[in-house]
Structure 1
Amino acid sequence: MSRITKVNHETASPEVQEEYNRVLEKHGSISNMKATLLHSPEASRAVLEWYTLFEKVKPVIGLRLSILFCNAISRENACTLCATYMNKEIVSKGEDPDHLLLDDRDRTIIEFGRQLAADPNRVSDELFSRLRSTLTETQIVELTVFGALMIVNNIVNSALRVDLDEALSAYAVDPEVAFAGSSHFQKSREVL
């Protein structure tokens, strides 16, 4: 159950109502995460910059790999809401998230995403060299910030325990399966 209530448009302050309307107009809907973020228009705008970078990254690596990159980050961070959202996107494109056909470029970018989430200090020179062989420096910077914003989404959704949107329930990931290889998931299990 979510630790923070969702903003109710009717009872919100005029400033929050204005931001709510802007988010609704721009994104077409208000997800549970957006309704949580709207408690602070500034926080909402900061986190939703993810969409700006998404539009920069998509033409470079493609929609599919952008989703797989975010999925890798979300699974590494053991974020149920984000991993479920990415799972829905993968399935809706006709793929099985557990049996993806990946080429070397796909694997490199997915590995980079996982490493950003696991420990960005340990992005190896070898991995970075493979990344550099397929992307320009500007593209690497944009991909890295896009990944960092995905991590922010993971943190918000996990720390605040944002409820899974009803539209995602059919795509819900099983944490025991989806996060089995996640270093964050393994550490949290060790604490228990």
Structure 2
Amino acid sequence: MARIPQVDYAAAPAAVQEAHDAHLHVARITNMKRTLLQSVPSFHALMTWYDLRDTVQPFLGDRLTTIYAHAISAETDCLICSTFFRRILIDAGENPDALVLDERERAVVAFGRCLAVSPFRVPHEVFAPIRALFSDEEIVALTAFGALMVATNVVNNALEIPLDDSLETYRRRSTP
């Protein structure tokens, strides 16, 4: 059960409705977003995820952007976010449980997982390949995008926001 109720649009203040309506031009409103709308500044802060995604996609590509976000979300055990990215991968014909990654992709995934597990320090052996692959600007954007992904995961996990019904069929099933 969710720890914080989702906003009731019809009963919400005008500022909440405006933030909600403006975001519909970017993406759909999910359970997480309905919960975040309890605090419009919090909603706006985490919705900068879309700006950062749009910043990293040109140098990562769509596939690796999704894989990076999925790796972070799976590592933090965020049901909502990991399932969201599973859906994108599955709908693109990928098996999120058996991804075939090249050396560049493995380096980016390792970096993302490191941010998820211990964002306080990235070991040299994880950072060195990133340093070799990307410019300073790209590394900062990649790190900020990863950090915002972790923040989104923390909100979902801490507030126990329920999985959206539309994601249920993409949920990772335990293997016996």
* TM-based fold match above 0.5: yes
Q: Counterpart in 1 of 2:7? A: 7
User: Displacement of 1:141 after TM fit?
Assistant: 0.2
Q: Counterpart in 1 of 2:24? A: 24
User: Displacement of 1:88 after TM fit?
Assistant: 0.6
Q: Counterpart in 2 of 1:145? A: 144
User: Displacement of 1:103 after TM fit?
Assistant: 0.4
3-state secondary structure, aligned to 2:65 = helix
User: Displacement of 1:121 after TM fit?
Assistant: 3.2
Q: Counterpart in 1 of 2:92? A: 93
Gaps of 5+ in 1: 178-192
Q: After alignment, is 124-133 or 78-87 more displaced?
A: 124-133
What letter is aligned with 1:69? Y
Instruction: Report percent identity of matched pairs.
Output: 41
Q: Counterpart in 2 of 1:168? A: 167
Using the size of structure 2 for normalisation, the TM-score is 0.95
Q: Counterpart in 2 of 1:62? A: 61
3-state secondary structure, aligned to 1:25 = coil
What letter is aligned with 1:24? L
Query: For residues 154 and 121 of structure 2, what CA distance do their matches in structure 1 show?
Result: 20
What letter is aligned with 2:17? Q
Q: Counterpart in 2 of 1:180? A: none
Q: Counterpart in 1 of 2:83? A: 84
User: Displacement of 1:125 after TM fit?
Assistant: 1.3
**Deviation >4 Å, runs of 4+:** none
Query: For residues 119 and 165 of structure 2, what CA distance do their matches in structure 1 show?
Result: 33
Q: Counterpart in 2 of 1:133? A: 132
Residue deviations 1:9-54 (CA, integer Å, cap 9, x gap):
1100111111111112332x21111111111110000001111000
Query: For residues 121 and 41 of structure 1, what CA distance do their matches in structure 2 show?
Result: 28
Gaps of 5+ in 2: none
Question: How many pairs does the alignment contain?
Answer: 175
Residue deviations 1:58-88 (CA, integer Å, cap 9, x gap):
1111111111111111111111111111111
Q: Counterpart in 1 of 2:45? A: 46
Q: After alignment, is 65-74 or 16-25 more displaced?
A: 16-25
Query: For residues 34 and 100 of structure 2, what CA distance do their matches in structure 1 show?
Result: 35
Using the size of structure 1 for normalisation, the TM-score is 0.88
Residue deviations 1:146-174 (CA, integer Å, cap 9, x gap):
00000011011111111111110000124
3-state secondary structure, aligned to 1:90 = helix
> Aligned-pair RMSD on alpha carbons?
1.2
3-state secondary structure, aligned to 1:33 = helix
3-state secondary structure, aligned to 2:64 = helix
Q: Counterpart in 2 of 1:156? A: 155
3-state secondary structure, aligned to 1:133 = helix
What letter is aligned with 2:140? V
